[in-house]
Chain A
Amino acid sequence: MNGTPQRFLNLQITNRDQTDMKPHTTPTLRFPTVSLRAGISTLALAALALTALPGTLRAQELLNVSYDPTRELYREVNEAFAQKWQAEGHDVPGIETSHGGSGAQARAVIDGLGAQVVTLALASDIDKIAATGKLPADWQSKLPHNSSPYTSTIVFLVRKDNPKGIKDWGDLVKDGVEVITPNPKTSGGARWNYLAAWAWAEKNGQDPKAFVGELFTHVPVLDTGARGATTTFAQRGIGDVLLAWENEAYLALKEIGPDAFEIVVPSVSILAEPPVAVVEANIADDAQRALADAYLDFLYSPEGQALAFKHYYRAWDDSAAAPEDVARFPKLELVDIGHFGGWAKAQPEHFGDGGIFDQIFTAK
């Protein structure tokens, strides 16, 4: 791709030079030869690109297909696990992690991306992969805590000193408050935002559909992903409050500076469980299965749990974690997805085509 426009540009400039000197010369016969050569080199490039595509992985290699905000976490996990695996007398494992929107990542695996391990934002995304037979339907019961080695929740990120006085979900629909959230149709994180708001309304005697509907009239920008929404809020200065993953909010605070933002923890939020699973169909042999199982088990080990705490996830086992990493999480009432009847029910009911979220916008 890169070479062709450059060549095109050169060609144009050369031609213009020629016309500058001899205004009436017709294009020379060399022209087609050049484009043929360009065509052949493009073909060669394409062939090269094809051979460079990842083929089937060898046994001691592992591809972890994950979602967006886990980049920093898995960078450390991969390193720590590789050392541990080596210390146990194995060869150095080649572990790669791919990140992107949770739904898009699930589609990539369905369409044939050879991931041995998936670590996604929503159980419903892994359910979709399971529906193709690549892993058993009861995958979520294979590992402890609904196969979620770490959890998170949804909190508010507000501007320094909280000028709009935002304390809880009810404050978000006050006049003049602008709320930034990604689009629940395209972002896994945003679905948790939406369900957390729904849960608060239920617990406070409000009609949840009307409350969530009103909440979305306060949203000026619907980004497609969680990172995009963080950028809109933090860098573009849009909105008064960002509904964010707790780990994402802490990361923004760390990266952009605690003098610009504050975290506000609402009275009720949702227990977000980003699950992990081995993709059975992509396991080549027993050695690779052992590696994949050990990798996921490592996430549950005290060492792996400590890393999750360090990266602002609410993990389960704090025995090896730094005390300050554990202490920063305030206690709040958490509702889990079971309250909504599980993802298999909540996904189509709220976020499916023509579901409650779509009705909010078409009813206006």
Chain B
Amino acid sequence: MPALVQKTPMPGLRLSAGITLTMLSIVVLLPIGALLLKGASFGPGNVWEVVNRERVWTALLLSFRLSVFAALFNLVFGVLLAWVLVRYDFPGRRLVDAAVDLPFALPTAVAGIALTTLYAPNGAFGQLAAQIGWKIAYTQWGILLALIFVGLPFVTRTVQPVIEEIDREVEEASATLGASRPHTLRHVILPMLTPAALTGFALALARAVGEYGSVIFIAGNIPLKTEIAPLLIVIQLEEFNYDAAAAIGIAMLLISFAMLLAINIIQIVSRRKMGHV
């Protein structure tokens, strides 16, 4: 196989490449291909007709807008969390470190029910919020909360190893050259973290867009108000309307693809900048 160039001394390249491609096809490419095929057989005109309705646009806008907010929140606090976990030593650090992965391990339905229990008007936190007239569960705040929860580990876990690799000498050099702490952070540390943080942001965003299990319990699911796009797909399936379900799925896929592409381009640009500095 001339296409496969062996760059490492490790044996078993063909075997591992074969396994990888097979798994990738079975798990990722075939389902997405089937979705697109379903859309193609339904016809682009029909797909557009299903998607181009007020209720679908409202749900898509809601899903993507809240996902971006949740991912931005996770971007800021994920980097902060990673920094604290790597640079500070405190009792229970290992425990907190392990706890970051919990949103991955917990079934999303459990997370959704737990969050709803806490933030419902009669829940522990919901009661406090209700006193200042703030409703969390069954509003868009609740959806945002669930999306932040499921996306939390991504930024932290992508940025953490990068922070571990940063030599303290770099910061010390910056300081001895007269840079203030904010200046060092802005011009030395953050540029190094940007590519990894953006990867984490993209992952958190992608996860939030497709999230169903946890959101459904806390959202309220009122059409035009708290109805997320994945729920519309489930509704179409309940009506045995596979074509319409695929149409909304394709719309989500295309929007996600465009957003991830944009993030990748930003990443490439920021990497180039790094190279020139």
Contact = CB atoms under 8 A, between A and B. Distances in A.
Whether A and B are associated in the same complex: the answer reads yes
Interface of A: 5, 9, 16, 19, 29, 32-33, 36, 39-40, 43, 101, 103-104, 106-107, 110, 128, 183, 185-186, 219-224, 228, 235-238, 351-353, 358, 361-362, 364
B224 A364 contact: yes
B103 to A, nearest CB: 11
Interface string B31-70: 0000000000000000000000111000000000000000
B239 A221 contact: no
Max chain A CB contacts within 10 Å: which of B105, B116, B239, B244? B239
Contacts, number: 90
Contacts of B55: 358, 361-362
Contacts of B164: 16, 19
B217 interface: yes
B241 interface: yes
Nearest to B232: A185
Contact of B222 (A110, A186, A220): A220
A220 B105 contact: no
B221 A236 contact: no
A222 B220 CA distance: 6
A24 to B, nearest CB: 9
Given A361-B55, A362-B54, A353 B244 contact: yes
Given A236-B121, A362-B54, A364-B224, A9 B98 contact: yes
B122 A237 contact: yes
A222 B227 CA distance: 9
B237 interface: yes
Given A9-B101, A36-B12, A362-B55, A236 B19 contact: no
Contacts of B23: 39, 43
Contact of B236 (A19, A40, A353): A353
Contact of A351 (B16, B116, B239): B239
B8 to A, nearest CB: 7
B24 to A, nearest CB: 12
Contacts of A101: 238
20 contacts: A5-B104, A5-B105, A9-B98, A9-B101, A29-B10, A32-B8, A32-B10, A101-B238, A107-B240, A186-B234, A220-B222, A222-B220, A222-B223, A236-B121, A236-B122, A237-B122, A238-B120, A238-B138, A351-B239, A361-B224
A185 B238 contact: yes
B121 A237 contact: yes
Nearest to B221: A222
Nearest to B19: A39
B127 to A, nearest CB: 10
B172 to A, nearest CB: 15
A187 to B, nearest CB: 8
Nearest to A43: B19
A353 B51 CA distance: 12
B19 A185 contact: no
B221 A183 contact: yes
B239 A104 contact: no
Contacts of A222: 220-223
A221 B223 contact: no
Nearest to B20: A39
B224 A237 contact: no
A343 to B, nearest CB: 13
Nearest to A125: B240
Counting from the closest, the 10 A-B pairs by CB-CB distance are A237-B122, A236-B120, A361-B223, A103-B238, A222-B221, A185-B235, A221-B220, A186-B238, A221-B138, A128-B240
A20 to B, nearest CB: 10
B216 interface: yes
Given A43-B23, A236-B116, 4 more contacts: A185-B239, A220-B138, A353-B244, A361-B223
A36 B16 contact: yes
Nearest to B244: A353
Interface in B96-142: 98, 101, 104-105, 116-117, 120-123, 137-138
A186 B12 contact: no
B245 to A, nearest CB: 11
A238 B122 CA distance: 8
Contacts of A103: 237-240
Interface in B178-216: 216
Contacts of B123: 236
Contacts of B260: none
